Amino acid sequence: MLEDKNQARTSLSELGEFGLINHITKHFTLKQTSTVKGIGDDAAVLEASEQQTLITTDLLVEGVHFDLSYMPLKHLGYKSVMVNLSDVYAMNGSAEQITVSIAVSNRFPLEAIEELYAGIQLACETYGVDLIGGDTTSSTKGILISVTAIGKVNKEDVVYRSGAKDTDLIVVSGDLGGAYLGLQVLEREKQVFQVNPNNQPDLDNYSYIIERQLKPEARKDIPKLLQELGVKPTAMIDISDGLSSEIMHICSQSKVGCKIYEDKIPLDPQVISTCEEFDIDSTMVALSGGEDYELLFTVSIDDYDKIKANPHLTVVGHITEQAAGMNLVTRANQEIELKAQGWNALQS
């Protein structure tokens, strides 16, 4: 959290734009056969294929989407790739390339940009995607990162948000709420640190949820798993804003309703214990906390046997006809209407 005064600081202006681009991208290697030409010309060149192409972009702005006082730049680089790969996997596709554009103020030394790109490179290597280009410019204040991911999907495999049908089961991968709670812990520690910089935080009890916030993993394994199980989801979306708002996207685009069962929502034990400590409702956190990057999808009830025992997947409810609305069935067996509050609703 502390800025190390002894750390080397090479000013970006010493290198110039081209020197910087060359410096930060020279360690990247290309692995995808579809990448014909990566960085270094006016445009990258990709080989066309029989499959359909997926393209998705996210823009992350300092002070809006991340806070560098607790987000190390390496993690930021990694996460900015993850949020895009997650969108490709949510279409039931595979990711092959990314571009990365950055705007940085001269408050950042070269070493900071190296850290950012170390995270981007780790993400590229771990997920097998090629960095094929981008743009670099200056900003008057702060840092801004835009990543575009390019992927592929067989025409018959693509899954939209709009295909859910009455009686379909609603399934989530992994567990929910951790990333939001990790952020709460980090923000609390930041405030403690501001009051007393000598206070070293003990974060052992929060390791899982902090990792969920700082180093999320996109669920590359889920489209593959579904293929192995012989299941094609009827609709799918990634959970960036909380279960509630994502299921509402599926319902509105599919013109259906839903029932989510509170007691079925998958929660890590650390989420439960931290919710108790912070005195927040864990269901609320799962429904409205953001940034878990799990996948939410619907499958035909005929596929239940194929998914039921899988440790990565949890059935949390089912689709209904639209007129029944979108509801949460509580542990007390009461039905309450779901609201797409997003995680700002938790900030009261």
Please report, as ranges, the residues that interact with ligand ADP according to CB under 6 A: 21, 25, 39-42, 100-102, 131, 133-136
CB of 100 to Mg ion, least distance (A): 12
Of all residues in the shown chain, the one whose CB is closest to ligand ADP is: 133
Separation CA 178–CA 194 (nearest Å): 24
State which of positions 134-173 bind Mg ion (CB under 5 A). 135
CB of 36 to ligand ADP, least distance (A): 13
CB of 294 to ligand ADP, least distance (A): 28
125 belongs to the binding site for Mg ion (CB under 5 A): no
Of all residues in the shown chain, the one whose CB is closest to Mg ion is: 135
Q: Which of 295, 257, 251 is nearest to 162 (CA)?
A: 251
Of the pair 52, 126, the CB lying nearest ligand ADP is at 126
CB of 42 to ligand ADP, least distance (A): 5
- Among ligand ADP, Mg ion, none, partner that 133 touches (CB below 5 to 8 angstroms by kind): ligand ADP
CB of 135 to Mg ion, least distance (A): 4
Of the pair 135, 187, the CB lying nearest Mg ion is at 135
Of the pair 131, 275, the CB lying nearest ligand ADP is at 131
Of the pair 101, 167, the CB lying nearest ligand ADP is at 101
State which of positions 24-63 bind Mg ion (CB under 5 A). none
The helix (run of H) or strand (run of E) holding residue 224 is: helix 221-229
Of the pair 20, 159, the CB lying nearest Mg ion is at 20
Of the pair 10, 341, the CB lying nearest ligand ADP is at 10
- Among ligand ADP, Mg ion, none, partner that 42 touches (CB below 5 to 8 angstroms by kind): ligand ADP
Residue 318's Cβ-side half-sphere holds a number of Cα atoms within 13 Å equal to: 11
Total residues binding Mg ion (CB under 5 A): 1
Separation CA 164–CA 252 (nearest Å): 10
Distances (CA, A) of 223 to 159, 185, 210, 297, 313: 10, 32, 26, 11, 12
CB of 99 to Mg ion, least distance (A): 11
Distances (CA, A) of 31 to 129, 135, 165, 286, 318: 7, 21, 39, 37, 40
Q: Which residues of 288-327 are buried (b: 16+ CB within 10 A; e: fewer)?
A: bbbbbbbbbbbbeeebeebbeeeebbbbbbbbbeeeeebb
Of the pair 10, 101, the CB lying nearest Mg ion is at 101
3-state SS, residue 104: strand
CB of 237 to ligand ADP, least distance (A): 28
Separation CA 67–CA 181 (nearest Å): 15
Separation CA 108–CA 117 (nearest Å): 13
With beta carbons less than 8 A apart as the criterion, state whether 270 and 206 touch: yes
Separation CA 260–CA 244 (nearest Å): 9
Of the pair 135, 277, the CB lying nearest Mg ion is at 135
CB of 27 to Mg ion, least distance (A): 20
Partner residues linked to 74 by β-bridges: none
With beta carbons less than 8 A apart as the criterion, state whether 319 and 262 touch: no
Please give the residue ranges that form the binding site for Mg ion (CB under 5 A).
135
